Structure 1
Amino acid sequence: MTATRQPSSTFGPGRTLRLGIGRVRWEVRQYFRERDTVFFTFLFPTVIFLVFAAAFSTADPVGARPDGTGGISVAAYTLPGLVAAGVVLSGIQNLGIAIAGERSDGTLKRLGGSPLPVVSYFMGKAGSVLLTALIQLALLLAVARILFDVALPQDATHWVRFIWVFLLSIVMATVLGIGISGIPRSGRSASAVIVPILLVLQFVSGVYFTFADLPGWLQTVAGIFPVKWVAQGMRSVFLPEHLAVAEQHGDWDLGTTALVLVAWTVVGLVAARLTFRWVRKDG
């Protein structure tokens, strides 16, 4: 017998908010209890940063001007890409796999038969993505600054830019993660479906390598997807201004970055609306 979902209309905004905050706490606790999730989403950017920074600690400076000035270390150049990777892993990958698993193991069905408002459920997911991404970011920046003396932005302009790029990216990654969760046929196959897609996008989006070194056609293909724009937005925050000439159009292109991230947020909302349900129709 199918569980009857109690209407959430009996809950006012205050109780819906309290339930949502409670879900955030629950989601964060569950996140850090999963060892594979902690390593492959939370610690992964920091571990990769440590590998790159240590392996290329004696490499020539990146992006030096013809007179030899203005170059930065490989660690400094790698940092913004891995900040972007953290956003993508925390939002798209983690949510996509987690929700697919909850649908497969019956968690969503049980929640669908409970009085929990769907708004509170999504508040829990979004809040957990934001909190874990912030903690992950703090750890990555601390390691970069303390262990490798990577200079962080010193002016308000760059930090304001960081805030809007980060928050817009988090919103995009959250709704896209919810939307993509409907693709895997089961929770068991979720990692095999979602992880390779995002891994390929990271490699062609300038996360691990210099974006300018990619062939022009591959840069164009990468520009269709949001990962490239999250990484470029983060490069505009953490890299020297003169390195903007290495981007595809010769500047940081912040207006396009905002438009693309908003567009993919809309795509994610539409996908979530079409694919999310407490149980699969064929289940």
Structure 2
Amino acid sequence: MTTPSATALAPRPRAPRPQAGLRRVLVLGGHRGLMEVLVFFRGTETVVFSLLFPVFALIIFSSMFRGDITPGVSYSDYLVPGVIATGLMVTGFQTLAISIAIERDRGALKRLAATPMPRSSYFIGKIVMVLVTSLVETGVLLAVSMIVYGTHLPRGSAGWITFAWVGLLGTTACTLCGIALSSVPRSGRAAPAVVAPFAFVLQFISGAALVFTNLPSWLQWIASVFPLKWMCQGLRSVLLPASFASHEAAGSWQLGWVAVVLSAWVVVGLLLCTMTFRWTKTRNGG
């Protein structure tokens, strides 16, 4: 009769529990997010462009265009929701796409991919950074608009809930699209030239800087395909009087369509990320 060997008697290592793996991803993602936030606020140029540029745009456009759009709604009142939506788009889409393209060009993504850190933690860190900076930016814009232009805050709990889900869905959609677009520039130097025109054009055709219903119908149709138009419309529903709904293109706030289109862009952005994101540059520099 043979005796079992020491190896056979040794306890078998337990497979890691899924909860432990998820907890590790989230913890490392939180640490990565904290680092991303610190790096963001240490970059003077990035902070000025992402946080203060919307404030400058609000002041400049309000000074250029005076008067009321409709009785009780001035141009500055109309502009505030659009500027807030634009700020969310710039932070989640433009700034993120450019920064990731630069990190890839410098080889930072390649080095991160070779570390034990789960790759999903990197994206969690980026999302944390976008959410924190978006909250700060929105708070600054609301404060400036209240103090300078007398803008009213969302009305009641329902108004704040709508403000929150429109902002969250819109920011998520812009963030995912920004991550996907980061793979398009061939180099970090080319990233601003590739990414910025998208954001710039959308600002002027989505009702963020100009009254949406004053635009040609074909531009309105194009803008309706993209998230920014619906973000602006959703935020106007809680920052402007309820009577202004009749002056929208469809004669109502269309909050159901706001939710549908923004949710669809979240799905589209996620699919684009999984299909296009690269951790390293291609041989031809792209």
TM-score by length of 1: 0.90
Aligned partner letter, 1:107: A
Distance 2:211 2:63 in 1: 18
Matches within 5 A, 1:23-172: 23-56=32-65, 59-64=66-71, 71-172=72-173
Q: Secondary structure at the match of 1:62?
A: strand
Question: Conserved in 2, the CA contact under 8 Å of 1:175 and 1:268?
Answer: yes
Aligned to 1:6: none
| Count of aligned pairs | 267
Aligned to 1:279: 280
Shift of 1:156: 1.6
Aligned to 2:4: none
Shift of 1:155: 1.6
Runs of 4+ in 1 over 4 A off after TM superposition: none
Aligned partner letter, 2:127: A
Distance 1:164 1:29 in 2: 26
Question: Conserved in 2, the CA contact under 8 Å of 1:78 and 1:207?
Answer: yes
Aligned to 2:179: 178
Question: Conserved in 1, the CA contact under 8 Å of 2:154 and 2:163?
Answer: no
Distance 1:172 1:245 in 2: 27
Instruction: Give per-residue Cα distances to partners, 1:209-237, cap 9 Å, x unaligned.
Output: 10010011111111111111111111112
Instruction: Give per-residue Cα distances to partners, 1:156-194, cap 9 Å, x unaligned.
Output: 221111111111111111111111111111111000000
Aligned partner letter, 1:277: R
Distance 1:178 1:245 in 2: 36
Aligned to 2:193: 192
Q: Secondary structure at the match of 1:278?
A: coil
User: Which of 3, 8, 28 pairs up with 1:19?
Assistant: 28
Distance 1:148 1:257 in 2: 26
Q: Secondary structure at the match of 2:189?
A: helix
Shift of 1:131: 0.4
Shift of 1:54: 4.0
Shift of 1:55: 4.3
Distance 1:48 1:40 in 2: 11
Aligned to 2:229: 228
Aligned partner letter, 1:147: V
Question: Conserved in 2, the CA contact under 8 Å of 1:53 and 1:148?
Answer: no
Shift of 1:200: 0.3
Matches within 5 A, 1:208-247: 208-247=209-248
Distance 1:118 1:246 in 2: 46
Aligned partner letter, 1:214: L
Distance 2:33 2:161 in 1: 26
Shift of 1:45: 0.9
Shift of 1:207: 0.4
Q: CA RMSD in A?
A: 1.7
Aligned partner letter, 1:176: C
Shift of 1:14: 2.2
Distance 1:280 1:274 in 2: 15
Shift of 1:124: 0.4
CA radius of gyration, larger in? 2
Aligned partner letter, 1:235: R
Distance 1:102 1:162 in 2: 33
Question: Conserved in 2, the CA contact under 8 Å of 1:90 and 1:132?
Answer: yes
Distance 2:274 2:104 in 1: 15
Shift of 1:73: 2.6
Q: State the identity %.
A: 45
Structure 1, unmatched stretches of 5+, are 1-8, 65-70
Aligned partner letter, 2:68: P
